[in-house]
Amino acid sequence: MSKAVKQVISRDIANRLAGINDCVIANIIGLNSENTAALRTRLRQKSMRIMVVKNSMVRRAVEGTPLANAFNGLDGTSAVMYGGEDFVSLVKEAVELDKDKAFEAFVARGGVMDGEQLDAAKVADISKWPTREEQISLLVGQILGPGRTLAGQLKGPGSKLAGQIKKIVDDGGEKEAE
């Protein structure tokens, strides 16, 4: 491949990965065309993308970006997964694909998060973290918890008092009638 063609390919990769700070690196060599199409469709439904790249080309394309560390020490061809709602959901999907029998050749090799290179074990650990939506629901629960407790504490004695007043009224009404 000529130097000019390599530069064009590197620029195209750089344009596609512009603005992306986190990604998962996988190996999909061995997937047939039907499985590859099914994989891309599955990822597209979740707003995720996958791009197969030659590591030497992508290294040139992402030099000086947060993704640069992801390709240190890799050779050959890799698949770069990116997108999704948040990085944790991307990692969870990669780990699911790694375990899925339909995509046996898919192997998560690592990635990069906040400029830090991740190995396959760290990717598996991150997949156990809560997603953005789960974190928000936990936070909302923690914010609403004290208010719920206070409302329960205010309602409890008020309910008892109302019940006692009602009993007095009911009993007092019967005593007067006799």
Tens digit of each residue's pLDDT (9 = 90 or more) over 58-95 = 988 888 888 888 888 887 888 999 998 889 999 999 99
Kindly report, residue by residue over 139-162, the tens digit of the pLDDT. 888 888 888 887 777 777 878 888
Whether the predicted pLDDT of 119 surpasses 70 = yes
Sequence-distant (6+) residues with CB within 8 A of 106 are 26, 27, 28, 31, 39, 97, 98, 100
Q: Which of 16-25, 46-55, 127-136, 147-156 has the lowest mean pLDDT?
A: 147-156
Bridge partners (DSSP) listed for residue 80? 25, 51
d(CA 168, CA 170): 5
What pLDDT, on the 0 to 100 scale, is given for residue 42?
A: 93
Backbone phi and psi for residue 173, each to the nearest 5 degrees, phi listed first: -65, -35
d(CA 83, CA 45): 11
Instruction: Quote the tokens at residue 79.
Output: 């698949």
Q: Find out if CATH 3.30.70.1730 is the number for domain 3-129.
A: yes
> DSSP secondary-structure letter at 100?
-
Look up the pTM and report it.
0.72
d(CA 33, CA 63): 31
d(CA 79, CA 93): 14
Q: What is the residue-averaged pLDDT of the chain?
A: 87
d(CA 164, CA 102): 66
Of residues 177 and 52, the one with the higher pLDDT is 52
